[in-house]
Structure formats: structure tokens, C-alpha cells
Amino acid sequence: MRTMITRILPVMILAALLAVTGCSGGKQVTRVDTGEQIDLSGRWNDTDSQMVSAALVGQILATPWVEDFLAEKGKKPTVIIAPVANKTSEHIATQTLTADLERQFINGGRVKVVASADERDQVRTERADQQEFASPETMKQWGRERGADFMLIGEINTQNDSEEGTELKYYQVDCYLVDLQDNTKVWAGFEKIKKVVGRGKYKP
Amino acid sequence: MNDLARSRTGAALRLAALFLAGGALSLGAAGCATYSARIADLRPQLAGGDFAGALATVEDNTGGKDRLLYHLERGTVLHYADRYAESNEAFALSEQLADDLYTKSVSEGALSLITNDGSISYRARPFEMAMVPYFKALNYIGLGEPAEALVEARRAGEVQARYVEATLAAVREEDRGDLARLRADPFLLYWSGLLYEWGRETNNAFIAYRNAAVAYQELSGLLEVEIPAALAGDLIRTGTRLGFGSELAELRGSCPDVFAAAPDTAVGDRGSTGEVVLMIESGYVPQKEQVRFDFPVFVSEDYRDHDSWAWEYYGSRGNFQGMAGGRKIEYWISVAAPELKDDRPEVVGGCRVSAGIAGSHAAGVKVANLAREARITFDAEKPSIFFKTILRGLTKYLASRQAKKSGGAVAGVLTNLFGAAIEKADTRSWLTLPESIRMVRLSLPPGTYDLEVEILDSRGHPFHTDRLPGVTVSAGGWTFLSRRVF
């Protein structure tokens, strides 16, 4: 009898403890490499952003518009990246995609990139401040900003399909490079990402 | 004690321990009272504007297996407290959790067979999850983030169908009934169309209006909602702008009720007026309450004569002492099932809004009826719930009999009593949802207005007046507002 109670008691104590603590597991934090591909929910994530921006910039720079511009104007083209419009049913931080695109362009070295509208406002505030507080030899002048030759416009669209726990997520990022002088589209490209998110019907 | 006796005692104790463990888990997860009883303070607190109290009630009484409800209730309370960013965080967490809960836990299911359905993590009903994008969109509008509100417009069209499919998968085909017809929610489609038009996505707006028209034509009777007269004007306006003359003509034929009051000629753009869209959310969606049956099974009863036994049971009217006089009780049956309490008439019968200038009066149109959706969903699920309740009762009975066989009468009685004590109906639902939503549309010249809202009773008499001061209307613009009436 005593042996039996000895066996059962821990089970009862464990049950009581579980009831009190609500089965809560401790939180664990692990640092991982930022380049590591991690998909948790299947939603748009940093890996998608990096893959799409690298592919799009590769496409843009592989076409002859840069050389055409160089031959005609004798200088590198200047590009401004417009915010990528999110037309999906997910809240996507498109600023990271815009930043990835900018970085790819800047690091490629074949085009110049100018600051976005929001960034320009910040810069102008600083320049205005300099007019009052900076020394004359270091103060930057008004009216010397570089105007962009081309604007990169883009949007993300998505299509979802699902059946019995399996979900298909299809993202398409469309981008156009538009000549700011005459609205000519000098390049159009897109990049697609397709994901299948499988969910088991049951777990233990 | 000989080996056989020791073995029987051991088995009985193991069984008792299993019940105790299951019971402790069940009690630990949900407490003794049903969910609706436990959280009874929430509705009066919200209605009284005691948002801190309401949040504390949610904090103290949800969580664990009710985690989804914790996020949903918090999201609603924070929304009405005008804490839009926090509300959206709570709703976003609810959406993530609802996604994760698609995968059902076998261990939770098994535990619910020896305890109660409160041992299973709560999964939201389709009409509940479908309302999340509605509240989130209002929050984003309040935060001045139209692009994010448009994301919710896109979600609004998707969520309902997804969760209806998931719910249908858990009920038998013959029980699905009207729930299978609710894959599209006319109100949410219409709502998303209005948001698209506000965001200048005219093509998407037309498609959403068209889908809303088809859904209203098909479901307005089932859902007991009115078809908004403005929908026809919205379709004609956007369709004309896009040059969709043939689509409009086709829609006139397939949705005659939607176009019943619409002019034959095209309606142009709104010109210099601005559009006010006011949503009046009223009441509370019906909640579930527990229906409990407790009755004894006698040792010497002759159950072959069902009529005689039933009349005797009915005649005792719960006075089991009188019924049991001189007889020995074999087992005490306790079963508890949820019932949707939707028999109370709706308090709000309508509403009127005035902007204080000539021609600026409009009546509210009942565009969404969540009470009806709750009934349709409950009716589809009811047979499965009752089947499981009976199965659980049988499991508990068999466990008690086994305990009695192995450990004697005391073990049997204890197991029986413990099983009865933890029997509890699953009355969980998103309690702060409104019962119905009325939409008021006003086309006004640019300016700032104080809107007067009259809430009418079922006989059309005003019983409450609210004022919305400083509503700004811009030429060609859209102003979205919402008010909750309790």
C-alpha cells in the first residue's frame, strides 16, 4: 500500500503544480546568424526582403539602361527609391525592402542614390540649423541638392490559397524604373516568392 | 493484504489519481465556475466606461486555455478606450494564436473526455475572427494609418471563409446547415469596399461592392439584416468610373433587391461633398450559459420500462430524496452542456443621425447581425457538442465502475463525485462583441459638424441621444466613425 501511495503521490503533486503554474515553460532566447533562413509562420519576413531586393537589383543592373545613360550624359545615373506599396493582406514593413534595394544599389557602385522624401526633410532641417549655428566655411548651401534622374517604383501583391491546413502564399514584387524627365519606363521587372505552409491537423 | 487485493487497490488509486490529475488540470486551467459566470463583470464594466476594471477582469479570468479570448477581449476593451495601437497589438496576437490553434491537440481532446471541454484551448468561431479586421481597420483609421487600414480591408474578405471551412471540418456534413452558406459575410465585404474606395483602389472597391451585393442578395434573409440602399449607389458610382456598364447591368439582374431603390441612370462622382460613414455597434452578442442535468441511477431500477422511469423522474422535479426513498444509488449522472441565450429581444431598434443642416438626416441600416451568426454557428456545432457530452458522461461512468470494481464502493463513489464536480459546460465566447451593427451614411458639404445620434427602441422611439462633436468633412473625402451603444 505504501509503495502504491509513493508511486501515485508524485503524479498528484505534479498535477497540482501544473494546475497552479498553468504549464508555463520558461522563455528561451537564442542568438542566430542574421543570414540564417528562418520561417516560422510563412508570412513575409527578412529573408524574403533580402532575396527579392538582391534579385531585383541584379535584374536592373543587368539591363543596358545604365550604359545608355552613361553614353548619353557622361555621368552615372541618379536614382531615388520610392516607398514600395504594400497591396497584400499582411502588415509588411516595406521600409526594410526599400532599404535593402537602396543598399544593393549603393554597394553596386554603378548608380547614385539620393535620399527619400522623409530623409530629405530631416537633412533640410539640419541644413537650416547650420545656417544659424555652423561656421561659414562648413555651412552647406541651399539649392545644391542632386535631383534624381530615375525613380524606382514598386508594389507587393499577394495571392493566397488554402485547403485542409495547407496554405499557398504567392508574393509578387513588381518594380518599374521611371525617367523623371519624361515618365518613360526604362525598366520593368518582377520577383516572385511562393511558399507552402503546411499545418498538421493534430499534435500530441 | 493479499496480492489480488493490493492490485485492486492499486488500480483504484491509479484511477483516482488520473481523475485527480485531470481534475486538477481542469480546475487549474479554468476554475470551478463556467467562463461566462467567471467573467460576468466584464460587460457592465465596459458599458460603464470602466476600462481599467474591464482589463483587470480580463487579466484575472482569462489565459491558459482561454488565451485567445484574453487577446480578443483585451483588443476590444482597448479599442473602446481609444488605445488603438495597444488594441491592434492584442488583435494581432489573437490572429497569430488562432493560426497556431488550427492544429488540434490530441492530449487536450483526451483530457476533455475525463474532465470537461474547458480543457481544450478555445478556438474562435468564424464570425468572431472575421470581426478582428473590422476593429483593426477602425484602430488604424484612428491612428491615421490608411495604408494599414487597407491591409485589414483585404483581410476582411478572406478571414470569414477560412474559419468557416475550419469549423465545418469539425462538424458532421448533415449538421452543417446554414453555416456552410456563411463563407462570405456581406457586411465585411461592404466594409472592405468602402475602405478600398477611401484608399482610391477603385477596382478593388467595385469587386468588394459586387461581392457584397451578391452576398446581401443571398443572405440578408438568413442573417436577418437589411440591404443598405447606399450599396447600389456605390456600385453604380465605381462601376461607371471604371466603365463597367455590362457588369452593372448583369448585377441589376442577379441582385434585384440590392438595386430595388437605385436610379436607372448612372450616379456620377460625389463632387464637392464628403462622405461620413458612421457605424453604430449595439448590445452584446448572445452568450452561452450552462444547462446542467443531475440525476441518479438506482441499483434496483427496472429501466426496461422507460416511460415509467421517465415519468417518475419528471414527477420528482428534482426532489431526488423523495424519488430515492429506500433505494440505493448506483451512479450519479452529471452532464453539462452549453446553450446559447439569444431569446432576449434586441434593445436597439434603430438609429437616426443628423448633422444639423437641411437634408443631413439619415437612418441607420442594420448591416450586420452577429447574434444571428452566433445562432447559426451554434446550431451547426450543437450535435457534436452533445455527442461529446454524452461520450464524456459514459467515460466517467465507466471510470467510476472500474474504480468500484478495483477499489471498492468508496473508490467508486469518490470517482463518481469527482467526475460530477468537474463536469462543466464550455460557455466560452468573445463576450464584448456587439450584437448588431448599423451603418449610417451622410453626404455633406465640406466643413465641421456636430452629429446628433438618436438611438431608437423597438417601437421607433428615441431612448438615448449621443453627440459626436467636431466631425470634419472634406470635399471628396471619407470620414469613418464608430460608436458603441450598450
pLDDT digits (tens, 9 = 90+) for B83-115: 999 999 999 999 999 988 888 888 898 889 888
For residue B312, what pLDDT is reported?
65
Q: How confident is the model at residue B1 (pLDDT cuts 50, 70, 90)?
A: very low
Among residues B88, B47, B80, B40, the alpha carbon closest in space to that of B62 is found at B40
- Integer Cα distance of A153 and A90 in angstroms: 20
Predicted TM-score (pTM) of this structure: 0.84
How does pLDDT run across B231-263, given as a tens digit for each residue?
999 999 999 999 999 999 999 999 999 999 776
Which B residues in the span 306-325 are in contact with A, Cβ-Cβ below 8 Å? none
- C-alpha distances out from residue B204 to A192, B211, B239, B361, B364, Å: 22, 11, 11, 29, 25
> What's the order of all strands across the beta sheet hosting B436-444?
B365-369, B436-444, B274-282, B478-485
Q: What is the pLDDT of residue A171?
A: 95
What pLDDT was estimated at residue B324? 55
pLDDT of residue A15: 47
A112-126, A162-176, A178-192, B225-239: lowest mean pLDDT where?
A162-176
> With an 8 Å Cβ cutoff, are B6 and A165 in contact?
no
Grid coordinates representing B472 are 470634419
Cα separation, B8 vs B14, in Å, equals 10
- Per-residue pLDDT tens for B27-65? 544 456 888 889 999 999 999 999 999 999 999 988 889
Q: H or E element: which one contains B97?
A: helix B84-100
pLDDT tens, position by position, B294-303: 888 877 655 5
Partners of B329 in the beta sheet? Answer: B298
CB contact under 8 A, B24 and A12: yes
| Chain A residues in contact with B10 (beta carbon < 8 A) | 4
Q: Which residues contact B63 (CB under 8 A, 6 or more apart)?
A: A22, B70
Higher local confidence (pLDDT), B270 or B336: B336
Contact predicate B418/B399, CB 8 Å: no
Distance, in Å, from the CA atom of A164 to the CA atom of A53, rounded to the nearest integer, reads: 33
What is the share, in percent, of chain B residues with pLDDT greater than 70?
86
Does the beta-carbon distance from B25 to A15 stay under 8 Å?
A: yes
pLDDT confidence of B175, banded at 50, 70, 90?
Answer: confident
Q: Hey, is the C-beta of A12 within 8 angstroms of any chain B C-beta?
A: yes
Q: How far is B448 from chain A (nearest CA, A)?
A: 30
Q: Which residue has the cell 438568413?
A: B222
Residue B321 confidence (pLDDT): 55
The string of pLDDT tens digits covering residues B310-358 is: 666 666 555 555 555 566 788 888 999 999 999 988 989 999 999 988 7
> Measured between CA atoms, how close is A68 to chain B, in angstroms?
36
Q: How far apart are CA B399 and CA B187, in angstroms?
A: 49
Which residue from A minimizes the CA distance to B30?
Answer: A19
Determine contact: A165 vs chain B, CB below 8 A: yes
Q: Supply the pLDDT for residue B322.
A: 52
- B211-226 per-position pLDDT tens digit: 999 999 999 999 999 9
Nine cell digits for residue B218: 443571398
Rounded Cα distance between B133 and B91, Å, is 9
**Minimal C-alpha gap between B378 and chain A (Å):** 22
The tens digit of pLDDT for each residue in A84-94 reads: 999 999 999 99
Within 106-135 of A, beta carbons closer than 8 Å to B belong to none
Among B9, B20, B111, pick the best mutation site for testing chain A contact (most A Cβ within 10 A).
B20
Q: Do A12 and B154 touch (CB under 8 A)?
A: no
Nearest Cα of chain A lies from the Cα of B369 at a distance, in angstroms, of 25
Write out the three cell numbers for B170. 469539425
More confident residue, B309 or B216: B216
Q: Does the interface ipTM go beyond 0.85?
A: no
Enumerate the domain spans of chain A: 44-198
In angstroms, the Cα distances linking B216 to A148, B126, B187, B202, B225 are: 50, 18, 8, 20, 8
What is the pLDDT at residue B267? Answer: 56
The contacts of residue B366 (CB under 8 Å, 6+ apart) are B225, B226, B350, B436, B437, B438
Q: Do B64 and A1 touch (CB under 8 A)?
A: no
Chain A residues whose beta carbon lies within 8 Å of the beta carbon of residue B158 = 89, 160
Tell me the pLDDT band of A5, cut-offs 50, 70 and 90. very low
Please give the C-alpha separations between residue B58 and each of B14, B35, B122, in angstroms, as whole numbers.
36, 11, 15
* DSSP, residue by residue, B125-144: -HHHHTHHHHHHHHHHHHHT
The whole-angstrom distance between A21's CA and the closest CA on chain B is: 8
Asked if the model's pLDDT at residue B25 lies above 90, the reply is: no
Domain extents for chain B? Answer: 17-183+270-297+330-485
User: Taking all residues of chain B, what is their mean pLDDT, rounded to a whole number?
Assistant: 88
Residue B73 has pLDDT above 90, yes or no: yes
Long-range CB contacts (< 8 A, 24+ apart) of A181-184?
A181/A149
* Inter-chain CB proximity A16 and B24 less than 8 Å: yes
pLDDT band at A13 (very low <50, low <70, confident <90, very high): very low
pLDDT recorded at residue B379? 95
Task: Report the C-alpha gap between B74 and B54 in whole angstroms.
Answer: 8
CB B216 within 8 A of CB B257: yes
Side-chain-side CA neighbours of B113 within 13 Å: the count stands at 11
The whole-number average pLDDT for the span A129-135 is 96
Is A44-198 CATH 3.30.1460?
Answer: no
User: By percentage, how much of chain B surpasses pLDDT 90?
Assistant: 65
Grid coordinates given for B478: 471619407
